[in-house]
Copies of this chain bind each other. A is one copy, B any other.
Amino acid sequence: MKAEIITIGDEILIGQIVDTNSAWIGEQFNLNGIEIYQITSVHDDHDHILEAIKNAEKNVDLVIITGGLGPTKDDITKHALCEYFNTQLVLHQPTLDAIIKRFYKRGIDMNKLNRDQAMLPENCTILTNKLGTAPGMWFEKNDTIFVSMPGVPFEMKYLVEFELLPKLRATGKTKAIFHKTVLTQGVPESMLADKLETWEDALPEHIKLAYLPNPMLVRLRLSAMDNDVEKLKTEVEKEIEKLQQIIPESIFGYDSETLSEVIGRMLAQKNKKLAVAESCTGGYISHLITSVAGCSEYYNGSVTAYSNQIKEKVLGVSAELLKQFGAVSEQVATEMVEGVKRVMNADYAIATTGIAGPTGGTEEKPVGTVWIAVSGPNKTWVKKFIFVGDHRERNIVRSSQTALQILRRMVLGEL
């Protein structure tokens, strides 16, 4: 089954709101084997809405229309639908009863705009909206299904989950799908593609691979579609086992996990404590770690040592080393990581010192130069990275993700 989503609303086109509805519907449909062919966002305009519906009907067998149904929208969408399906608005008594009950419960007066929401196209099937006043509408024409829903996210989600998907599954046209996402870090997309070429070419026809890159992180999504979900799951897991052989050091997790969550789980299991000393990353590593609920179980804390004085006074970095090698150096990174581990009574520690930019670089130490040190119970590991570009925020994010990835490998015993 192939679908197009049409979202109606000027607020999307002027960038006032981000269209998160379409992404949510896309994900839900994908899990039910319904392919989204296109997403189209149009104005609150009669002719434009009709044009979009007509174009969509050419390519798909399911047209989803969201938005344009609020009480102040002048019913543009409903009138457009009536014209398209050659019908008229009539009073839908169960919807009016529900609206009256709703307003009575809230103790506020209804006006004509609210009452008009019960005027619905005569030839559609009503999808009851228990969370709002505008119901969903289901039309059929020449083997194509058209569904109009309100754009309020929680109302739309309710309608999709409890009304739309059950009705779609009943058509027998949805499929079973299984997918799993492998999270990798440290290898750029193009290099990963080289390494995985043979494996990718040998994938069974019905298993699809997608590369989804982020800064310093590439997600590999394997999707399989068939009727037997259990069989698919086994097949996908088998392919992932092969992948683990090819890039063992790059995979850090699966699906929606974050690197901080993965590390947190490992530290909690081992009953080990973590501390962080940050210079150029300025608190961002600590923020990533504390974004995970329950992190107090394994996280002691951090020091952002922005000035040399703090590096000396709080972390115990030697003034002589600072003078001789500068703050951005192997020696200082090493003393920072060992200092914070000691001060915070931790088993593992991370330290960063570098030049985030956009200015402050030199010939010898250009912007993007970052020393990352990671220390565990038995050893300290330190290395220089040079991230290209003078984009401050990006250098901070990259340095932080890289440091966490190194920590993960040290906790695993790989370093």
Q: List the interface of chain A (C-beta within 8 A of B).
A: 10-20, 22-30, 35-43, 48, 52, 55, 70-72, 102, 105-108, 111, 113-114, 130-131, 152, 154, 188-191, 193-194, 210-213, 221, 276, 278, 281-287, 289-291, 293-296, 299-307, 309-310, 313-314, 343-345, 356-359, 386-389, 391-394, 396
B36, B71, B108: the one contacting A193 at CB < 8 Å is B71
Are A108 and B191 CB-contacts (below 8 A) given A13-B39, A300-B309? yes
For residue A287, which residues in chain B have a CB less than 8 angstroms away from its CB? Answer: 282-284, 286-287, 396
Are A15 and B11 CB-contacts (below 8 A) given A107-B386, A306-B290? no
For residue A291, which residues in chain B have a CB less than 8 angstroms away from its CB? Answer: 282, 392-393, 396
The distance from the CB of A189 to the nearest CB of chain B, in whole angstroms, is 6
A310 touches B304 (CB 8 A): no
A391 touches B131 (CB 8 A): yes
B36, B70, B281, B357: the one contacting A14 at CB < 8 Å is B36
For residue A343, which residues in chain B have a CB less than 8 angstroms away from its CB? Answer: 313-314
B190 touches A359 (CB 8 A): no
Q: Is the interface of A mostly helix, strand, loop or mixed?
A: mixed
A12 touches B17 (CB 8 A): no
For residue A210, which residues in chain B have a CB less than 8 angstroms away from its CB? Answer: 10-11, 16
Are A189 and B306 CB-contacts (below 8 A) given A30-B15, A283-B287, A391-B131? no
Copies of chain A in the complex: 2
B27, B35, B282: the one contacting A286 at CB < 8 Å is B282
A193 touches B301 (CB 8 A): no
The distance from the CB of A327 to the nearest CB of chain B, in whole angstroms, is 10
Q: How far is the CA of A404 from the CA of B48 in the complex (A)?
A: 40
For residue A55, which residues in chain B have a CB less than 8 angstroms away from its CB? Answer: 55
A283 touches B290 (CB 8 A): yes
For residue A301, which residues in chain B have a CB less than 8 angstroms away from its CB? Answer: 303-307, 310, 314
B15, B130, B289, B307: the one contacting A27 at CB < 8 Å is B15
- 9 A-B pairs with CB atoms under 8 Å apart are A15-B27, A16-B212, A19-B39, A38-B40, A39-B39, A70-B213, A108-B188, A301-B303, A301-B310
B304, B344, B356: the one contacting A302 at CB < 8 Å is B304
B72, B130, B296: the one contacting A190 at CB < 8 Å is B72
B283 touches A302 (CB 8 A): yes
B13 touches A309 (CB 8 A): no
A190 touches B309 (CB 8 A): no
For residue A294, which residues in chain B have a CB less than 8 angstroms away from its CB? Answer: 359
A39 touches B36 (CB 8 A): no
B12 touches A23 (CB 8 A): yes
Are A388 and B106 CB-contacts (below 8 A) given A22-B41, A113-B190, A293-B359? yes
For residue A29, which residues in chain B have a CB less than 8 angstroms away from its CB? Answer: 15
The distance from the CB of A28 to the nearest CB of chain B, in whole angstroms, is 7
For residue A278, which residues in chain B have a CB less than 8 angstroms away from its CB? Answer: 283, 286
For residue A299, which residues in chain B have a CB less than 8 angstroms away from its CB? Answer: 306-307
B310 touches A300 (CB 8 A): yes
The distance from the CB of A272 to the nearest CB of chain B, in whole angstroms, is 14
Are A16 and B221 CB-contacts (below 8 A) given A282-B290, A386-B107? yes
B41, B281, B289: the one contacting A282 at CB < 8 Å is B289
User: A133 — nearest CB in chain B belongs to which residue?
Assistant: B190
Q: How far is the CA of A43 from the CA of B17 in the complex (A)?
A: 23
The distance from the CB of A346 to the nearest CB of chain B, in whole angstroms, is 10
For residue A304, which residues in chain B have a CB less than 8 angstroms away from its CB? Answer: 276, 283, 286, 290, 301-304
User: A209 — nearest CB in chain B belongs to which residue?
Assistant: B72
Q: Which of A41, A71, A281, A313 has the most CB of B within 10 A?
A: A41
Q: How far is the CA of A40 from the CA of B29 in the complex (A)?
A: 18
Q: How far is the CA of A24 from the CA of B18 in the complex (A)?
A: 8
| Additional 18 contacts, C-beta under 8 A, given A14-B26, A38-B43, A314-B343 | A13-B26, A14-B30, A15-B27, A18-B23, A19-B22, A72-B193, A106-B386, A276-B283, A278-B286, A284-B287, A286-B287, A291-B393, A293-B357, A294-B359, A300-B307, A301-B306, A303-B304, A314-B344
